[in-house]
Every structure is written in C-alpha cells, then in structure tokens.
Amino acid sequence: MNKPTTIYDIAEKLNISAATVSRVLSKSNYPVRAALANRIRATAEEMNYVPNSIGRQLKTNKTSTMGVIIPSITNPFYASVVSGIEEVASEKGFQILLCNSQQNPELEDQHLNMLFEKQVKGVILSSVSNRHDVLRKVMANGLKVVSVDQHMADFEAFQINFDYRKGGMIGTRYLLDQGHREIAYLTAPLTLTSRQQILQGFMDEMASAGLPVPPERIVVADKRRGKKAEGGSEEFENGKRMTRQLLDTGDMPTAIFACNDMTAFGVMDELASRKIKVPEQISVIGFDNLEFSEIVSPPLTSIEQPKYEMGRLACGMLMDWMDDSIRQTGEIMLQPRLVARTSVREIDS
Amino acid sequence: MNKPTTIYDIAEKLNISAATVSRVLSKSNYPVRAALANRIRATAEEMNYVPNSIGRQLKTNKTSTMGVIIPSITNPFYASVVSGIEEVASEKGFQILLCNSQQNPELEDQHLNMLFEKQVKGVILSSVSNRHDVLRKVMANGLKVVSVDQHMADFEAFQINFDYRKGGMIGTRYLLDQGHREIAYLTAPLTLTSRQQILQGFMDEMASAGLPVPPERIVVADKRRGKKAEGGSEEFENGKRMTRQLLDTGDMPTAIFACNDMTAFGVMDELASRKIKVPEQISVIGFDNLEFSEIVSPPLTSIEQPKYEMGRLACGMLMDWMDDSIRQTGEIMLQPRLVARTSVREIDS
DNA sequence: CTGAAAGCGCTAACAC
DNA sequence: GTGTTAGCGCTTTCAG
C-alpha cells in the first residue's frame, strides 16, 4: 500500500532508461535485447509493478473503455442487449462503462457528456430523447456512437434498428387472421419512438383491414418518472393498471395487444385476478419475446426481436468503426418474427 | 473534430495563466476575481472546451469510476443488484465499469487486474472463485472491494451477505410443515458458496427432522462452462434437464426444491410437458423470488432475498469507505423470508 | 539496440 | 488574486 512502482523505479534499479523499460513492458515490438528484456520483466514482477493505464492513456489518447447508455438494466430486454455488447467488447479487450438513463433525456445527455470527458471514443446508445443536440455536439467532436433499438430519424450515425412498425403489423395481422375484430392496444408512454412505431403498425394494419379503432381501445400509460418501482416492475404494474382502466369502461374486446411482454404479463395477471380466462375469453399478445414468455401460463404469443444479436452487431460495428475499418455509416434493420404460442385463440365466426 | 481545446488554449487567448483557468474551470474554491472567472467561463464555452478527466486523474489520482464484477448480467438477480449499485453510485457522481465473469474465476481475476490498472479505487464483487490470491494482491495494494452475495470465508473485507443456509432451512421447513417427506433438491453446479450453503441448509433441516436423503434425490447440474446459452437461459435448461434426470430414475418425490427461481421455472416447464400437475402431483419451491415468480402459473413459492437493497448497501459502504468515513470492516448478513404462493400444496397425511 | 528529452492535460505548491 | 513551475506515469521521436 506504499506508493506503486513506476517504470522509473524499475529503470533506476536496473540502471537503464525508462524508455527501455516502457518498450518491453508495453509489449511494443520495438527491439530490445532479449536478455535485458527478461531482466526487466523479472524485476517488474519482483517489484510488483502494475502499469498505470491512465498515464498511458494521457500519452497515447487511446482507451479500451467504451460507453453504453440504456434506459434500464433491470429490463431483461436491455440486459440481453448489454450481454451481447459485453461479449464482443470483451473479445476485443474492451470494458464497458454502463450508464442508466432511467428514461430521462437529461440524464442521457449528462452521461454522454461525462463519457466524453472520460475520453471514451465510442458509445452504444439506446436513446430516450428526441432532441439530440448534445449527441450531435459530442459526435461532431469525434465521439463515435452507434444507436440501438431506438431509431433516430435523419441521423448520420450507425444504427442498429428493429422494424417495430412491421412488428406491430405482424402482430395485428395475426390477431386478425385468428378472427379477432375487437382489439385493444395497451402501451407504455409513447416517449420512445419504438413504442410509437409499434402502435403505428397496429393502427395501419387495422386501418387497412377497414376496422376503426375507438379511442378507448388505445390506452396509454401515464408517465410517472421519478421513483421507479423497485426492480423495474413498473411495466408489469402498467399492464395491470391499464387493463383495469380498459375493463372498467365496460368494454370487452376479444384481444389485447400489449406493447411489450412485461406489460402483457401485467395484463394476464390482472385478467387472472378477475377470473377472466386467457385465451378463452380474451386473447393476449405481447412484444419482445422474453424468455419468460415461454413459461408463463398460458405461454405468451409474442413478437421476437433479436436482442442479443442487436448488442453483438452494435458492438461489432463500433469496434470496426473505431478501428477505422470504416464502412460507410448506415443502418441495419432487423426484422420481427411472430412466435405463436397459446395466449391467442382462434375465433370461430 | 480538430484538436480539442485545453486550458492552455484558453489561457493563451486571454493572456492569463493556465493555473487560473484551471482554478475556475475545475470548480475549486480558490479565489479568482469574479469578472475574470466569468470571462474564462465564457471563452471556455465559446471555444467549446471539454475538460479532460484523464489529465486530471493522472494528476490527482482520484477517479469517479468504480468497478462491478458479477457472474452474468442477464440473470435478473444480478441485474437488480447492479441496478441498486448504479443508483447510489450515480447519486454520488460515480460511474460503473461493468464486468461479467461468466462464472469463470480466471476471468474474474483478469477483470480485477484490469480494474486496478485502470486506477479504479473501489470494486463491488460477487466472486465465483475460491482462490482469492489476485483479490488479496490488489487489496493489499489499496483497492477497496466489498463483496456481495458470495460469502468469502475469513476475508478481511466488507461483505454484504445473505444467509443462504438459513434460506435453505426455511424453505425445507416449510415443505416439511406442509407434510412433505419425499423431497428432491436440484441445484446448479456447486461452484458458488451460496449454492453450497442453500444445499447445506436443506440437508441440515432434513437431518434434524430425522429424514435421510438418498443421493439420487440430490441432483447437481454438470457444469458446462464455455459457450453459455444465448441470453443466459442456461439455468432454465438446467432445471428441465435435472428434472428429466430425476424422473427418469423412476423416482417420484412429492416436492422439488430448486436452488433458484430460474431453475424452478425449468422444473415446472418440464413437469408441465410431462403432464405432471404442480402442485397437485409435485410441489415446487424456488429461491430468489424473482418478480416473475409471481406471475408464472402456478405462482411460485420462493425465498426472498433483498437483491436491490443488497446493491444499494454494498455501494453505500464502498462510497463511505472510499470517503474514509471508515467504519471498521465487517459483514452485514441479510435475512431470508419465505414468500408462500401456490406451487406447494399441503399433504394430508 | 539504448538513452535523453519532451509532452499528453491537468492541478498544486510556492512565489509574488 | 494571479503566475511559475513542476510533475502525475507513460510513450515516442530523435540521437547516438
């Protein structure tokens, strides 16, 4: 716990220059006599030398730290994305500075600034904001950011997107194909573009089927930022609350489309506590295809998105970009896929 | 995207010294004439100055980054812990370097070393190792680490522990009280001390009830490190696999105790696919009380542990410790609580 | 192959 | 109040 050894300490002890020590200890391929190199390594070991990467970073202006900004880590969706990111990052020797924006655009901006000050060169961002001036600023100053999940319109960055609108359409079409006509749509606050897009998909598909959707059938959770529920079960509660709200109007659709699986779980829970059978009385469809969707009862029909792959792709792109293996900036649009299980029944008409 | 402005650039433009610029821009409370200070702030803004925290850190040897090492972020348990950590860290202006050990002790050591090289001063660790020499080394060199979740025997560090053994006892006692005598215990590999302790609790309670447990009733998943299942559903699969293994012996206990809820979900899924009713034919109890446990069907009886609080406590401790608001190093032992739902039935004897 | 010296951006004594 | 100077630990020309 005394002052840590530096390359100078080693140099001094060996009566050589710090430069030489650096050359061998930093694994540069600069030529150093093998014998000397070994002595250096030996005394480094012996003196318990640990390289100070801050010193190195200040000099080289290179870092092996990257930033990740997501709305919430307790959301299994983002946990999967992060896991994908972490995996390829760690393959390349990178570490991750994890930032939670908590759905708060200001926090997102703060994190962006802080990452930039910490001299990070690359960030993966799932943005909850729609004013991207801070983002623009840091990018203009050389920060490389690839976005995941949340599409940012007309933005000159790499984006790994997901076709949420099509997802909404596919889910709706499936319901329609099963004979449903009375469909309610429950969604978390429409702050995220992804959420808007799913809803849009729903509306579009209903419209093109010639089915009007009365406004009571679209229920949007009121946003209550501030204290998030412990453990992030907010969406579950949302689902319950919105279901109450929907049913308390006396309305009784044959199917409920929830904006994500967590919300759908809440829907199913509320339905169960009202002794309403799924899918016999009301069908439920979700979005995300969490792994839990397979094991709830009844197993939830949902829209799959490749969360883990999203993380991997995003991080791979970022790595290539930082390597200057530049591919031109562009978008990747990942496609939705319906996973039919048993929470939706066929209506015999 | 040109070279970033430094305090020297600002100083030059204003014909003053860099020291003065530093004094105002670093928010030290060193006296500077207000008018000058304002001019400095103005031109800093104008020149688009962003402080370089690497420069600062090299000088001050202080950092606002801390490390977190956990086995897997896709495990909702750890996601909650991390969320708790992140919350208090961010209150104190700290960021988190997130490291996944993937249940691999070598990776854990690597991360520890790397964090130390990055000059982090504090780490929160859920260790998967039982040889703690690297840990000891870095701690001897001044790194402060508080451990969560995984108890480390005779270790001179802060530990936020959880009484796993008592949890195992409580769960077993509950089963016993409900009239069960034929109980199987399924567990993930016993690499983690937490897992050993739950099993220990189970064994102790069975023993003190005078009930011998035949070895076939204790099934331990074989460890298959290497490629982890995508998204981390490994434990779910474990549960299924072990249930198959158990049942294929022809044995039919009245209750199954799973080492955690994820595993229990796998158990229930396998049971369901064999048309074995829970709890009518076999009762199931888990451990962790994930939020999903409430919404699976039937709702899973489980042992609650305050995951989120664990994270908060650990981080709070670490912060105090780094502040040198030293409390003597010690342990906090959090207590288990049974959450009875409907996956366990009462046996009429 | 090795060394001397400069400097990355910043802060903190110490002078004035 | 402000300036001068040194130096955190490291790498990297440039000489030799």
Q: For every residue of chain B, which 3-state class applies, written as one string?
A: CCCCCCHHHHHHHHCCCHHHHHHHHCCCCCCCCHHHHHHHHHHHHHCCCCCCHHHHHHHHCCCCEEEEEECCCCCHHHHHHHHHHHHHHHHCCCEEEEEECCCCHHHHHHHHHHHHHCCCCEEEECCCCCCCHHHHHHHHCCCEEEEECCCCCCCCCEEEEECHHHHHHHHHHHHHHCCCCCEEEEECCCCCHHHHHHHHHHHHHHHHCCCCCCHHHEEECCCCCCCCCHHHCHHHHHHHHHHHHHHHCCCCCCEEEECCHHHHHHHHHHHHHCCCCCCCCCEEECCECCHHHHCECCCCEEEECCHHHHHHHHHHHHHHHHCCCCCCCCEEEECCEEECCCCCCCCCC
Phi, psi of B142, deg, nearest 5: 105, 0
What whole-number percentage of chain B has pLDDT above 70?
96
B305-344 confidence digits (pLDDT tens): 999 999 999 999 999 999 877 766 788 999 999 999 999 9
Phi, psi of B259, deg, nearest 5: -70, -15
A110-163 confidence digits (pLDDT tens): 999 999 999 999 999 999 998 899 999 999 999 999 999 988 876 777 899 999
Which residue's CA shows the smallest distance to C1' of C2? A20
Cβ contact A78:A69 at 8 Å: no
Element (H, E) at A184: strand A183-187
Provide the shortest C-alpha distance from residue A325 to chain B (in Å): 19
**How does DSSP assign B183-223, residue by residue?**
EEEEES-TTSHHHHHHHHHHHHHHHHTT----GGGEEEPPP
Q: Which nucleotides of strand C are protein-proximal, with an atom < 7 A from a CB? A: 1-5, 7-13
Q: Among A98, A297, A298, select the one facing B98 at the smallest CB separation.
A: A98
Cβ contact B242:B221 at 8 Å: yes
| Average pLDDT over every residue of B288-316 | 90
Q: Which residues of A touch B294 (CB under 8 A)?
A: 269
Q: Cis bond leading into A279, ω under 30°?
A: yes
Closest to B281 in 3D by CA, of B293, B292, B294, B268: B268
pLDDT at residue B216, rounded to an integer: 93
pLDDT at residue B280, rounded to an integer: 97
Q: Which residues of A touch B307 (CB under 8 A)?
A: 231
Cβ contact A262:A72 at 8 Å: no
Which residue's CA shows the smallest distance to C1' of C5? A19
pLDDT at residue B18, rounded to an integer: 95
Strand partners, A67: A97, A123
Closest nucleotide (C1' vs CA) to A37 is C1
pLDDT at residue A227, rounded to an integer: 45
Closest to B296 in 3D by CA, of A265, A204, A167: A265
Q: Which residues of B touch A54 (CB under 8 A)?
A: 54, 57-58, 118-119
Distance separating alpha carbons of residues B183 and B219, to the nearest angstrom: 12
* pTM assigned to the model: 0.89
Given pLDDT bands bounded at 50, 70 and 90, which one contains residue B225? Answer: low
Closest to A168 in 3D by CA, of A23, A336, A343, A342: A336
* B304 three-class SS: strand
The dotted CATH code for B164-305 is: 3.40.50.2300
Query: Is 50 exceeded by the pLDDT of residue B72?
Result: yes
- Quick one: residue A47, left, alpha or beta (phi over 0 = left, psi -120 to 50 = alpha)? alpha
Query: Of A329 and B299, which is predicted with more confidence?
Result: B299
Distance separating alpha carbons of residues A54 and B58, to the nearest angstrom: 6
Phi, psi of B220, deg, nearest 5: -115, 130
Instruction: Say what the alpha-carbon torsion angle A81, A83, A88, A93 is, to the nearest 10 degrees.
Output: 130
Distance separating alpha carbons of residues B189 and B148, to the nearest angstrom: 19
Element (H, E) at B302: strand B302-304
Provide the chain A residues 92-111 that lie in CB contact (below 8 A) with chain B: 95-100
Strand partners, B304: B288, B337
pLDDT at residue A229, rounded to an integer: 43
Which residue's CA shows the smallest distance to C1' of C13? B19
Closest to A104 in 3D by CA, of A196, A227, A266, A238: A227
- pLDDT tens for chain A, residues 1 to 349: 678 999 999 999 999 999 999 999 998 888 899 999 999 999 999 999 999 999 999 999 999 999 999 999 998 889 999 999 999 999 999 999 999 999 999 999 999 999 999 999 999 999 999 889 999 999 999 999 999 998 887 677 789 999 999 999 999 999 999 999 999 999 999 988 999 999 999 999 999 999 999 999 999 998 765 444 444 468 888 999 999 999 999 989 999 999 999 899 999 999 998 999 999 999 999 999 987 888 787 899 999 999 999 999 999 999 999 987 776 677 899 999 999 999 999 998 6
For chain A, the C-alpha Rg in angstroms (whole number) is 26
Closest to B221 in 3D by CA, of B103, B342, B81: B103
Closest nucleotide (C1' vs CA) to B18 is D3
B64: CB within 7 A of chain C nucleic strand: no
What whole-number percentage of chain B has pLDDT above 90?
80
Cβ contact A113:A134 at 8 Å: yes
Element (H, E) at A284: strand A283-285
User: A60-162+308-336 adopts what CATH topology?
Assistant: Rossmann fold (3.40.50)
Cβ contact A305:A134 at 8 Å: no
pLDDT at residue A76, rounded to an integer: 86
pLDDT at residue B290, rounded to an integer: 84
Residue B46 structure tokens: 């104008």
Cβ separation of A96 and B95 shorter than 8 Å?
A: no
Residue B13 (CA) to nucleotide C1 (C1'), in angstroms, measures 44
Cβ contact A336:A170 at 8 Å: yes
Question: Residues near B17 by Cβ (< 8 Å), separated by ≥ 6?
Answer: B11
pLDDT at residue A225, rounded to an integer: 53
Best residue in A56, A73, A300 for a mutation probing chain B (most B CBs within 10 Å): A73
Cβ separation of B231 and A307 shorter than 8 Å?
A: yes
Return chain A residues 20..39 having CB < 7 Å to nucleic acid strand C: 20, 23, 30-34, 36-37
pLDDT at residue A3, rounded to an integer: 87
Q: Which nucleotides of strand D are protein-proximal, with an atom < 7 A from a CB? A: 1-13
Residue A19 (CA) to nucleotide C6 (C1'), in angstroms, measures 13
Cβ separation of B140 and A116 shorter than 8 Å?
A: no
Cβ separation of B118 and A4 shorter than 8 Å?
A: no
Return chain A residues 13..52 having CB < 7 Å to nucleic acid strand D: 18-19, 22-23, 25-26, 28, 51-52
Instruction: Check CB contact of B79 with chain A, cutoff 8 Å.
Output: yes
Cβ contact A287:A214 at 8 Å: no
Query: Of B84 and A232, which is predicted with more confidence?
Result: B84
Given pLDDT bands bounded at 50, 70 and 90, which one contains residue B349? Answer: low
Provide the chain B residues 301-330 that lie in CB contact (below 8 A) with chain A: 307-308
Closest to B102 in 3D by CA, of B68, B75, B70: B70
Which residue's CA shows the smallest distance to C1' of C4? A17
A349: CB within 7 A of chain C nucleic strand: no
